[in-house]
């Protein structure tokens, strides 16, 4: 769920709001300057029309530029707020862990099978060192997702800030994607972006997040995730794919317009 993106977006939103306040302040000053200039112009009507026109045009140009900047900031703030609201609606990793590794989504007619008794002795086989534990977790996530998710939950409780946790979050999210549990997957990818934003897993987490958003029909968020890759990880392998996907999104928009009647 791109929780780091949430934090970044909130910071960007605050920065934009501060810039907006500054621009508004400048705009107010310019308006006051216009009023003052007009008053002076009325008192000095003997001055040539050319001089007056030049001053007024310059002030109007400044005002127009400032208003354009203010409108741009307002649009960006509105867009960021919309993304924040939608991202915050996705469940966090704690909620996912409480359900045993799933968000509760099941296919029609599907029944949840109980854990086989043979899996109970497996805790005795867990490595005590974090590297071995992580390797076992990643292996199980690929071969036995249910067991892997249980191990992932234990690993992340013991070593939540370790660099290996980024790999665990990534594979855990991928296992949810395989089941089309997009929101649970977003929660894991969000942990990577939030806590391991400079790790080698971060670009892939953003790329996969974009795919999840697209599957949820959240096309704006999918686009923003791709743009974040290009902005924060321009030299990564994921950036190449991000460029391709962004181009596809741009082509898809005009293609879908004629269908609406």
Instruction: Dump pLDDT digits (tens) for 95-129.
Output: 444 444 444 444 555 566 665 665 554 454 789 89
pLDDT at 18: 76
Top pLDDT among 80 and 157 is at 157
pLDDT score at 96: 46
What local confidence, expressed as pLDDT, does residue 145 receive? 94
Q: Is the pLDDT of residue 36 over 70?
A: no
Confidence check: pLDDT of 167 > 70: yes
Provide the percentage of residues in the chain whose pLDDT is more than 90.
Answer: 45
pLDDT at 153 over 50: yes
Confidence of residue 151 (pLDDT cuts 50, 70, 90): very high
Tell me what the pLDDT averaged over the chain comes to.
76
pLDDT at 43 over 70: no
Q: How confident is the model at residue 22 (pLDDT cuts 50, 70, 90)?
A: confident
Question: For tokens 């296992």, what's the residue?
Answer: 175
pLDDT given for residue 190 in this prediction:
95
In this structure, the dihedral spanned by the alpha carbons of residues 193, 199, 202 and 204, taken in order and rounded to 10 degrees, is: -160
Residue 191 to residue 211: CA distance in whole angstroms: 16
Model pLDDT, residue 29: 73
Cα distances (angstroms) measured from residue 79 to each of 138, 195, 242: 37, 24, 20
Task: Check residues 249 and 78 and name the one with the higher pLDDT.
Answer: 249
User: Residue 88 pLDDT > 90, yes or no?
Assistant: no
Cβ contacts of residue 73 below 8 Å, gap of 6+? 16, 17, 19, 20, 23
- Residue 182: pLDDT band (50, 70, 90) is very high
pLDDT higher than 50, residue 179: yes
Averaged pLDDT, 163-191: 96
Q: What percent of the chain has pLDDT over 70?
A: 52
Q: How many other CB atoms are found less than 10 A from the CB of residue 45?
A: 8
pLDDT band at 14 (very low <50, low <70, confident <90, very high): confident
CA distance 147 to 101: 10
Task: Determine the pLDDT at residue 172.
Answer: 96
- Nearest CA among 159, 165, 140 for reference residue 150: 140
Confidence (pLDDT) at 124: 42
**Average pLDDT in the 216-227 region?**
93
The average pLDDT across 232-239 equals: 94
Q: Which of 78, 103, 96, 73 is nearest to 220 (CA)?
A: 78
What is the pLDDT at residue 249? 83
């Amino acid at each position: 769920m791109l929780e780091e993106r949430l934090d970044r977006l909130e910071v960007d939103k605050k920065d934009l709001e501060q810039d907006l306040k500054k621009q508004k302040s400048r705009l107010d000053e310019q308006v006051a300057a216009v009023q003052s200039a007009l008053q002076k112009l009325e008192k000095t009507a003997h001055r040539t029309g050319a001089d007056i026109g030049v001053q007024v045009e310059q002030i109007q140009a400044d005002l127009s530029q400032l208003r354009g900047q203010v409108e741009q900031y307002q649009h960006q703030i509105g867009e960021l707020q919309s993304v924040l609201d939608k991202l915050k609606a996705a469940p966090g990793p704690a909620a996912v862990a409480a359900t045993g590794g799933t968000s509760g989504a099941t296919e029609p007619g599907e029944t949840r099978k109980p854990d086989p008794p043979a899996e109970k002795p497996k805790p005795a086989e867990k490595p005590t060192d974090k590297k071995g534990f992580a390797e076992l977790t990643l292996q199980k996530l690929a071969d036995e997702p249910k067991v892997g998710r249980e191990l992932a939950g234990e690993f992340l409780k013991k070593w939540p800030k370790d660099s290996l946790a980024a790999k665990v979050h990534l594979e855990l999210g991928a296992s949810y994607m395989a089941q089309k549990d997009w929101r649970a997957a977003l929660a894991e990818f969000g942990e990577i972006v939030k806590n391991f934003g400079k790790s080698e897993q971060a670009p892939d987490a953003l790329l996969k997040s974009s795919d999840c958003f697209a599957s949820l029909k959240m096309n704006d968020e999918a686009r923003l995730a791709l743009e974040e890759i290009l902005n924060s990880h321009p030299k990564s392998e994921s950036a190449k794919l991000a460029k391709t996907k962004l181009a596809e999104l741009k082509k898809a928009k005009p293609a879908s317009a004629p269908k609406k009647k």
